[in-house]
A and B are shown apart, each in its own frame.
Chain A
């Protein structure tokens, strides 16, 4: 038996163990999100709002001076250099940070609540990497959904405000090419933030000892 544990059979099994259960982790992550629906929805909304804010500010900042200048030029009025809205950028960064802290805390509570589940999985042979995947996927799932919703929401708000401000002429004057670049950038930022926020809680979960499965008190 001594040979068996240290031999290729053992190592091979461990190797397969690392790659295979990604689908399993995804399934567990999605269902855990559903189980804690209220908290998941709250986290989702936090991401949605933060991303909507980011998209709105970014688009408005890109669009406003451009359209304004175009209108001024059309009317043969000299163009004044636009003032950058630094205060809004501060606010956006702050909102993203608050969002991260929120996700991180929600995830930490999640990990603390699920100590027995995590310990049990470790008793069943789960590697740390599996547990890590589990929680990162959970956060990533929320991040992607929240970001998509935030993008749509922020885009809609920015467009509505611009349309209201400039009138129909906006459709022909807006720098569509530049705007199209903002969306993919936000699509990357949102999930990145959520995964980053979940790193510490997920790592804590992964380091949990299998004896946690035995703990009786909550």
Chain B
């Protein structure tokens, strides 16, 4: 359900002069399955600006995760280019890529992906230790971030002792550990019930506003529309249309 919004919410158009943070140029991704070639992305051109909250919406199998991987430097596109902060990701060597993943981008997954043998605190501290912080500093900062996601009382719990929603909060805290410029989330609410999902979306939005991080979330969860500045509708490996939040409200009726 998409609730109509009042005009008081300003529509955030990508005004000229805003700082670009991600740009994809003709990104094509082909998967070879046996002797078949499957084109998962068929030339994606998008530009994302610093501080935006972007939803990549589309049905299952439309290529959202594939785009997520390309933008996140997790997988090389078959052709085309991905620029992050004006750096061509394809030009980076292994060490620079590790650095990019560590400092520039925070990842959030549908399956939470916490390290099972580590406590919430250690999970959040781990990327900071990879970034070169001392263990004491990392733990102190991790504690502060966990308090911000309202898990200050569960920092010594292992993932198995936490609910799905709590695990995703830890994952969000971990994604923000190194103050990344970009947060990439793939179906962050996919494994959560309605209310927990809503709370996670609200938390992502709050962190987006407070930290100024650009949030890019692949999802087919319509609850996400409410908080998105822009929505990329993707179908069959192509961007079908790009809408501001205000436009979505007008169209909301069509979606059912």
Contact = CB atoms under 8 A, between A and B. Distances in A.
Interface of A: 1-2, 4-6, 10-14, 16-17, 20-21, 23-24, 28, 31-32, 34-35, 116-117, 119-128, 130, 209-211, 213-214, 216
Contact of A126 (B69, B85, B98, B113): B98
Contacts of B244: none
Interface in B86-120: 86-87, 92, 94-96, 98-103, 107, 109, 111, 113, 115-118
23 contacts: A6-B96, A13-B103, A14-B95, A17-B98, A17-B99, A17-B102, A31-B117, A32-B117, A34-B117, A35-B116, A116-B111, A117-B116, A120-B107, A120-B113, A122-B98, A123-B72, A123-B107, A124-B102, A125-B103, A125-B131, A126-B98, A126-B130, A213-B113
A203 B186 CA distance: 28
Given A209-B74, A210-B101, A214-B65, A124 B96 contact: no
B251 interface: no
A21 B127 CA distance: 10
A127 B98 contact: yes
A124 B75 contact: no
Contacts of B186: 214
B109 A124 contact: no
A126 B103 CA distance: 11
Nearest to B127: A124
A123 B68 CA distance: 13
B117 A5 contact: no
B96 A5 contact: yes
A3 to B, nearest CB: 10
Contacts of B174: 124
Contacts of A214: 65, 68-69, 74, 109, 186
B210 to A, nearest CB: 22
Given A5-B96, A124-B107, A124-B127, 7 more contacts: A17-B99, A117-B115, A117-B116, A122-B98, A123-B72, A124-B101, A214-B186
Nearest to B75: A211
B27 interface: no
Taking residues whose C-beta sits less than 8 angstroms from the other chain, chain B's interface range is 35 or more
Contacts of A32: 117
Nearest to A212: B74
Nearest to A11: B95
B75 A10 contact: no
A5 B99 contact: yes
Nearest to B184: A123
A21 B129 contact: yes
Contacts of B127: 124-125
Contacts of B72: 123
A116 B110 CA distance: 12
Nearest to B178: A125
Contacts of B86: 1-2
B34 interface: no
A121 to B, nearest CB: 7
Given A10-B96, A214-B65, A123 B115 contact: no
A4 B85 CA distance: 10
B11 to A, nearest CB: 28
A121 B115 CA distance: 8
Interface string B39-70: 00000000000000000000000000100110
A64 to B, nearest CB: 47
Contact of B117 (A14, A21, A28, A126): A28
